[in-house]
Amino acid sequence: MFFGHLGVGFGAKAVAPRVSIGVLLVAATAIDVLASLFIAIGLESVSPENGAGPCSHGLFMAGVWTLAAFALLFVVTRDWRSALVVGLLVASHWVLDFISHPMGMGKPLPPDLPLLFEGSPKVGLGLYNSVVSALVTDFGLFAAGVAVYLVKTRPLDRTGTIAFWVMIAAIFASPFIMLLGTVGSVIACFTPLILIPLGIWAERHRRCVVARPKAPAAESGA
Ligand SMILES: [Zn+2]
């Protein structure tokens, strides 16, 4: 999955309004960011034959990263709800990859997500072996998440709108960076990190829409 993970991050603003949007987006894509880091330092390699790397995309390690993200957010914010949402976002990445991998995009591939480490059984339902399924799911999830974000936050001024669109432009620039080859692919997977400063900038100029408390029921006989 590609943009769909970011859609889940945008949508999470509805349940974690206190967490900056950049942090939500990085949590949703953390496993891919880790994969880029591990590829860059030679710990993992990704190829259609080997599948996804076990240190980033293995089920066991995805659980470890989920717990680490929860603990980190809880230590920093002391807000268990925000920490839980961020942890679940990290876990959501593996679940969505389980549904979408292997991503043959028209050339069906065998399951490529390891359960444990090197040599362990690999799983994956292969939704993205079909180009149509991949496009509909990826852009559908992204659009749905962005729509939730736009309903839940409103710009305070022009900068709030501009910064939001700069975030979207940064997200859609990443596939073009991938055209630069292997190095470009690794750089592109790190691009979620730039969403942290962009998100802070955007949300200094946006406000969360708070649900109005229900009016108290009229007391009878008063
Ligand atoms: Zn992934």
- The per-residue DSSP string of 70-85 comes to HHHHHHHH--HHHHHH
- Would the pLDDT of 220 be above 50? no
The per-residue pLDDT for 214 is 64
What is the CA(32)–ligand 1 centre distance, in A? 5
Mean pLDDT (the chain, rounded): 90
- Would the pLDDT of 15 be above 70? yes
What is the CA(124)–ligand 1 centre distance, in A? 12
Q: Do residues 196 and 20 lie in contact, with contact meaning Cβ atoms separated by under 8 Å?
A: yes
Environment of ion ligand 1 (residues, CB < 5 A)? 32, 97
The per-residue pLDDT for 216 is 62
- Would the pLDDT of 213 be above 70? no
The per-residue pLDDT for 222 is 38
Supply φ then ψ for residue 58, to 5 degrees. Answer: -70, 150
How far apart, in whole angstroms, are the C-alpha atoms of residue 19 and residue 81? 10
Q: Please state whether beta strands 113-114 and 122-123 pair in parallel, antiparallel, or not at all (unpaired).
A: antiparallel
What is the CA(93)–ligand 1 centre distance, in A? 6
Rounded to the nearest angstrom, the gap between the alpha carbon of residue 96 and the centroid of all alpha carbons in its chain is 10
For residue 180 the two structure tokens come to 């630069």
What is the CA(111)–ligand 1 centre distance, in A? 14
> Over the stretch 126-145, which tens digit does the pLDDT of each residue have?
999 999 999 999 999 999 99
**Is the whole-model pTM more than 0.85?**
yes
